[in-house]
Amino acid sequence: GLAKSLTEAKRQLKQCTRCFTVTDKDPCGLCMDVKRDSSMICVVAEPKDLMALEKTREFHGTFHVLGGLISPLDGIGPDDIRIRELLLRLGEGTIKEIVVATNPSATGEATALYLAKLIKPLGVKVTRLACGLPMGADLEYADEVTLSKALQGRREL
């Protein structure tokens, strides 16, 4: 029964041809939602990242799933992820902001910087998710990089 259910799920699921998330409809429900702000695209590495952001109910724009991150050590370059497809969406001329929501890791930062260098000259605003201390953290246990990012990303109260 379990094997049959898994086979059926695999048969029904596909990638959205617009944002590249996993879906049973193409385009997916998020891309078809007319209430979403189509002038903003949140760029994530994987569909699970999209789902995590969507759970917050704070982002009301559209999404783009890269399908990985730039990682030269692993042989993954810009041509191996869906940057070309993102640029095609930017070519439509309606996008005002790209929110880069990659992990705060070496590969996430490399991908974010690469995207910013590529997109900023097109006149599109590029923003990055804030990094720093998680809620409930103790300063004395935070590492220097986390504290540094928290200081850089501070905001007025």
Query: Mind listing the pLDDT tens digit for each residue in 40-68?
Result: 999 999 999 999 999 999 999 999 999 99
pLDDT in the model for residue 110: 95
Percent with pLDDT over 70 in the chain: 100
90 band by pLDDT with thresholds 50, 70 and 90? very high
Choose from 78-92, 126-140, 141-155 the range with maximum mean pLDDT: 78-92
pLDDT in the model for residue 103: 92
φ, ψ of residue 64 to 5 degrees: the values are -145, 120
Residue corresponding to tokens 């730039």:
70
Which position has the higher pLDDT, 87 or 8?
Answer: 87
Q: Is 136 exposed, middle or buried (0-12, 13-18, 19+ CB in 10 A)?
A: exposed
Q: Summarize the confidence of residues 126-149 as an average pLDDT.
A: 87
pTM: 0.87
Q: Residue 143: pLDDT above 90?
A: no
C-alpha angle 31-33-39 in degrees, rounded to nearest 5: 70
- Alpha carbons 25 and 85: distance in angstroms, whole number: 19
